[in-house]
Amino acid sequence: MKNSRRIIAYIIYILLGAALMVLGTLEVTDSFWSGMGGALMAVGVIRAIHILRYRKDEAYREEKEIEANDERNHFIRNKAWAWAGYLFVLIAAISTLVFKLLGQELLSMAAGFAVCILVLLYWVCYLGLKKKY
């Protein structure tokens, strides 16, 4: 049942993507939206193929279930998210300074706000998880 809903969602992605691409081709929207349509179509097709393969191929299904439930993989995913967060904050903080030195006030503010939002989200999540565990 869950996979059926996912396939429906991916078909909607494909149709929405096609509509955005058609609107971009007809110059109703700009190239950003037609590019977004292409990306939505690609995601929809790839994910639908993945779900169909998951349904039909028993060995593939077993491999993916082991991969999803393995504690080592959970640890690696969590560690990867932590590193990505650290690196994002570091890169955004450096970008804030570089953009400021280059006189790009708007970009400097955007990078600074990104750092602030991520740090705020970290603390909210930390406090919530601290109460939970």
Percentage of residues of the chain with pLDDT beyond 70: 99
Q: Is the pTM of this model over 0.75?
A: no
Look up residue 13 and give its amino acid. Answer: Y
Look up residue 78 and give its amino acid. Answer: N
Q: Assess whether 50 and 103 both reside in one domain.
A: no
Average pLDDT, the chain: 92
Q: Which of 20, 53, 69 is the last residue of a domain?
A: 69
Res 1 pLDDT > 70: no
Domain count, the chain: 2
Helix, strand or coil, per DSSP, at residue 51: helix
Rounded to an integer, the average pLDDT of 62-68 is 87
Q: Assess whether 75 and 56 both reside in one domain.
A: no
Please write down the HEC assignment for all residues of 82-102. Answer: HHHHHHHHHHHHHHHHHHHHC
Q: Assess whether 60 and 23 both reside in one domain.
A: yes
Rounded to an integer, the average pLDDT of 19-24 is 94
Q: Assess whether 44 and 76 both reside in one domain.
A: no
**pLDDT confidence of 70, banded at 50, 70, 90?**
confident
Q: Assess whether 96 and 61 both reside in one domain.
A: no
Rounded to an integer, the average pLDDT of 99-114 is 96
Q: Are 21 and 38 in contact (CB under 8 A)?
A: yes
Distance between first and last Cα of the chain = 33
Note the pLDDT of residue 91.
96
State which residues form the domain around 95: 71-132
Tokens of 99: 């953009």
Q: Assess whether 59 and 79 both reside in one domain.
A: no
Q: Assess whether 108 and 83 both reside in one domain.
A: yes
User: How far, in Å, CA of 93 to CA of 106, rounded?
Assistant: 14
